Structure 1
Amino acid sequence: MNSNNKEVKLSRTNKEKYKIIFLLAMPAVIENFFQTILGFVDTYFVSKIGLAEVSAVGVTNAVLAIYFALFMAIGVAANVRIANFLGAQQPEKARHIGQQSIVLSILFGILTGIITLFFAEPLLKIMGIEDNVLEAGVSYFKIVAIPSVFMSLMFVLSAILRGAGDTKSPMKVSILINVVNVILDYVLIFGFWLIPDLGITGAAIATVFSRLVGSFALLYYIQRKEVLKFRRDYWAPDKQHLWELSTLGSPAAGERLVMRLGQIVYFGFVVSLGTNTFAAHQIAGNVEVFSYMIGYGFATAATILVGQQIGAGKIDEARNYAKMCTILSAVAMTVLGSLLFFLGDWAGSFFTDDPEVISNIGTALKISGVFQPFLAVLLILTGAFQGANNTKFPMYLTAIGMWAVRTVLVYVLGIQLGWGLAGVWIAIGLDISLRAIILAIQFYRGKWTSVKKEDVESQCHPQTTKETMSGCANNY
């Protein structure tokens, strides 16, 4: 009798956990869907101007990805520490570190804007960009990246809300900026009434204005949330919190910088295959990213829930949530992978009538579809490691994967063996698979968190009880 009751209770607990995961993941999935639509629409409209313009935007975004690495690192650190503090019932620390992360994001946003102002052309030339693409690329790059502060704020403000368990507000903002961007893209790229057609310049202006709107909308949602509402005295620089953000964020920044720098190198290899091949690579990437929306959604849930349970001293619960998120994501992304495999050529036909480009897009997406389950494991476990305050191991792993596996294999398979774009995407898939397997092994061995149970328990609020240590997750 007692055994049956125990089983029923366990089943109910698991159902509650799955409900929590879905409540956190689904808004993040929807947000990622609309973020994906944003890139999809931009690429679609720009492709109507010409493939050279598609390449210009693609090369620019490869450089911008380095900026994103810095901004996302601040966001990762803010997300994790806010979740930790709320799990440990320390809301004022969560509020304080949230504001400190905003200060840091503004400083980095201004810095990257200044770098763009003076070094836009040299940065794009590093990519080996062709002359017919360079002028358009520089123009687009300057308009989009000089006001980088809005880009930075978008990353960090969204991360702050997610750290507090609010994935719905970033989702709403994502929908809003998509509507704004689509309207402005059409009007400014092709012209409307008294507004002249601005081409790729119009696409850049639409992107910047959308980010401006998104930044103010996210600030509005933060101010509405009592646990995050700004306090004037929390804007003054705080050494302790800035150090926490830096020490936790630096490996995350290192991971993304290593990835983006490696990406620039192998993008250079792809560019050497020709403008049309690189355009096919970019278009395939914009289609493939639809599969990422599921993975990033569940990775968001994993980071939040693992972070809260770590803050509450419940490492076993954190591990359980990470496993559940991984399984759900792997199943969903396998289904999406099959769609990429069978519908890749059809998707490519939306962007161009060139049969060779369409064929290359289809080949790339078939290869991508095969590796989707590994991508799911990689994304979720990376989020779980970060939620467990272990940002160093993913950084080391990314460095090895990007430079010793992906970049080398892109050159060998794509250039030396003459496999072209197929070789490039096989190299990417092998890198993803290797890193996913290593993360899974580390997770299985219990070497995935940088803190011990006794350490996190000692950080909890002295008034925390067994019931309240579950943190914010129980409020969803």
Structure 2
Amino acid sequence: MKNRIESSQVIQADNNLARLKLIMVLAIPAVIENFFQTILGFVDTYFVSKIGLAAVSAVGVTNAILASYFALFMAIGVAANVRIANFLGAKLPEKARHISQQSIVLAILFGLLTGAVTLFLAEPLLKLMGIESDVLELGALYFRIVGIPSIFMSLMFVLSAILRGAGDTRSPMIVSIIINVINAILDYVLIFGFLFIPEMGIVGAALATVFSRLVGSMILFYYINRSSTLSFRKDYWKLDKEHLLELTTLGAPAAGERLLMRAGQIVYFGFVVALGTNAFAAHQIAGNVEVFSYMIGYGFATAATILVGQQIGAGKFDEARRYAKLSAIFAFCSMAVLGTMLYFLGDWAGGFFTEDEEVISNIGTALKISGVFQPFLAVLLILTGAFQGANNTKFPMYLTAVGMWAVRTVLVYVLAIQLDWGLAGVWIAIGIDIAFRAIVLVIQFQRGKWMELEKAPESESRCHPQTTKENMSVCANNY
């Protein structure tokens, strides 16, 4: 079965087995892509750990700030992904093509903006984390090299999301494999030196990351332009107020959700930093190991967003619900298995990064706690993707605000600092937040309060993916 969904197709299935096969067709390439993206972080952390724990902390703190940039880029990608899926489900291919190019324009603008922020505010942003002077120096160096060319980060997020919105999860997977091979090779060569190439340390790690993202952006551009559904039209590059409004209206809550999450992370990262450099290094390493478990969840969340978006666009709301539920059940079972592995193999995994017994013990403790909460994480990821595919980006934003600030950040302070539970307290707080948000999403889903089906204003409704077939025909003729 092809995993690229052309504009003339609306995804349909007659039974749960057929639905599951379709979910797998879309999810497996996304899982593989996430695996290689995870490898990128794993390889970076592994090689940087050979420089020293201060370098690990520098990269970790920098990535915590860069995650705020990712929030903006991912929000544009979410909006593009959902709208493209909606319009292809409604059989409006030109609408999908137009909005995909407008999302690229938006990605370029935000990439340039965040690059300028990095250029002028690298040190002040890092100082907000309360890091030690040796970490600050390394962090500022790494931050500027990786952050100034943020346009490549932005394009990677948005171009991949465009392809997924059209049902093509295979091309982003291929690109992920290519850039991770490039990054791994360059990491080794540039960090430690090879033949005539000098040893560059943390600068080499940063340059490897930037170059791999540049290559990835170029290949993704190629895949989109060769698609019969999404190939570029010159006149679609001109800024279009209507499409930009669609993207920002849907993407703003997604951006808000991510930014609330990242802002909360910066606050509680400060609490982790207060536990000491070794504790923060252990936290960072544990996070890079744990993220392997995310690949299943994110893969099935991708499938859920695409399939729900397609069915919403086609007006098949019951079918959208079936796809969301089946994706969540399968991911729950899969991540329960991965959680078991994290629980029993955490100490062993920590030994790959350091020989410090205290750090290894902290890594093992963190991963045991993480393993317990993996099934909840599966439900959280898939249902968030389903809500977004149903054009409901606001509720996940509100829920994230409550979970991150009223649950996670407060509990990190109470458990890790006040009760002196250390890193164990941090990871217990994270797990409780994940479980809380997963349960709330399940309740909303069961109550049927997860789709955002309000009609667009009359001036826009003739091209809205949820209007009548007659209006869709008129809109298609306009394109």
State the TM bucket, normalised to the shorter chain.
Answer: over 0.9
Aligned partner (choices 187, 205, 208) of residue 206 of structure 1: 208
Unaligned runs of at least 5 residues, structure 2 = 1-11, 474-479
8 Å Cα contact 1:314-1:453 kept in structure 2? no
Aligned partner (choices 15, 19, 22) of residue 21 of structure 2: 19
CA distance in structure 2 between the aligned counterparts of 1:46 and 1:458, rounded to whole angstroms: 50
Aligned length in residues: 456
* Deviation of 1:462 (Å): 3.0
For 1:226, the equivalent position in structure 2 comes to 228
* 1:25-80 per-position Cα deviation (integer Å, ceiling 9, x unaligned): 00000000000000000000000000000000000000000000000000000000
Q: Pairwise mapping of residues 328-407 of structure 1 onto structure 2 (< 5 A)?
A: 328-407=330-409
* Deviation of 1:13 (Å): 2.4
Aligned partner (choices 462, 465, 469) of residue 470 of structure 2: 462
Q: Give the share of equivalent positions with the same residue, in percent.
A: 77
Q: Pairwise mapping of residues 96-245 of structure 1 onto structure 2 (< 5 A)?
A: 96-245=98-247
Give every structure 1 segment of 4 or more consecutive aligned residues whose post-TM-superposition deviation is greater than 4 Å.
Answer: 452-458
For 1:272, the equivalent position in structure 2 comes to 274
* 1:271-311 per-position Cα deviation (integer Å, ceiling 9, x unaligned): 00000000000000000000000000000000000000000
Against the structure 1 CA distance between its residues 12 and 233, is the aligned structure 2 distance closer, same or farther, given a 3 Å change threshold? closer
For 1:470, the equivalent position in structure 2 comes to none
SS at match of 1:459: coil
CA distance in structure 2 between the aligned counterparts of 1:311 and 1:237, rounded to whole angstroms: 25
Q: Pairwise mapping of residues 427-466 of structure 1 onto structure 2 (< 5 A)?
A: 427-451=429-453, 458-459=466-467, 461-462=469-470
For 1:310, the equivalent position in structure 2 comes to 312
**TM-score, normalised relative to structure 1:** 0.94
CA distance in structure 2 between the aligned counterparts of 1:462 and 1:261, rounded to whole angstroms: 45
For 1:474, the equivalent position in structure 2 comes to none
Against the structure 1 CA distance between its residues 52 and 76, is the aligned structure 2 distance closer, same or farther, given a 3 Å change threshold? same
Against the structure 1 CA distance between its residues 83 and 47, is the aligned structure 2 distance closer, same or farther, given a 3 Å change threshold? same
* Deviation of 1:15 (Å): 1.7
Unaligned runs of at least 5 residues, structure 1 = 1-9, 466-476
CA distance in structure 2 between the aligned counterparts of 1:462 and 1:127, rounded to whole angstroms: 55
CA distance in structure 2 between the aligned counterparts of 1:268 and 1:125, rounded to whole angstroms: 10
**Aligned partner of 2:313: which letter?**
G
* 1:113-138 per-position Cα deviation (integer Å, ceiling 9, x unaligned): 00000000000000011111010000
**Aligned partner of 1:410: which letter?**
V
* Deviation of 1:459 (Å): 2.2
* 1:455-476 per-position Cα deviation (integer Å, ceiling 9, x unaligned): 97752543989xxxxxxxxxxx
**Aligned partner of 2:247: which letter?**
L
**TM-score, normalised relative to structure 2:** 0.93
* Deviation of 1:428 (Å): 0.1
* 1:366-421 per-position Cα deviation (integer Å, ceiling 9, x unaligned): 00000000000000000000000000000000000000000000000000000000
* 1:148-185 per-position Cα deviation (integer Å, ceiling 9, x unaligned): 00000000000000000000000000000000000000
For 2:8, the equivalent position in structure 1 comes to none
For 1:299, the equivalent position in structure 2 comes to 301
Against the structure 1 CA distance between its residues 44 and 457, is the aligned structure 2 distance closer, same or farther, given a 3 Å change threshold? closer
For 1:256, the equivalent position in structure 2 comes to 258
8 Å Cα contact 1:413-1:420 kept in structure 2? yes
Against the structure 1 CA distance between its residues 28 and 203, is the aligned structure 2 distance closer, same or farther, given a 3 Å change threshold? same
* Deviation of 1:243 (Å): 0.1
8 Å Cα contact 1:312-1:460 kept in structure 2? no
8 Å Cα contact 1:381-1:439 kept in structure 2? yes
8 Å Cα contact 2:87-2:465 kept in structure 1? no
For 2:9, the equivalent position in structure 1 comes to none
**Aligned partner of 1:408: which letter?**
V
Against the structure 1 CA distance between its residues 312 and 453, is the aligned structure 2 distance closer, same or farther, given a 3 Å change threshold? farther
CA distance in structure 1 between the aligned counterparts of 2:472 and 2:454, rounded to whole angstroms: 18
**2:308 is the counterpart of 1:327:** no
* Deviation of 1:224 (Å): 1.2
Root-mean-square deviation (Å): 1.5
Against the structure 1 CA distance between its residues 355 and 221, is the aligned structure 2 distance closer, same or farther, given a 3 Å change threshold? same
**2:47 is the counterpart of 1:39:** no
CA distance in structure 1 between the aligned counterparts of 2:455 and 2:76, rounded to whole angstroms: 25
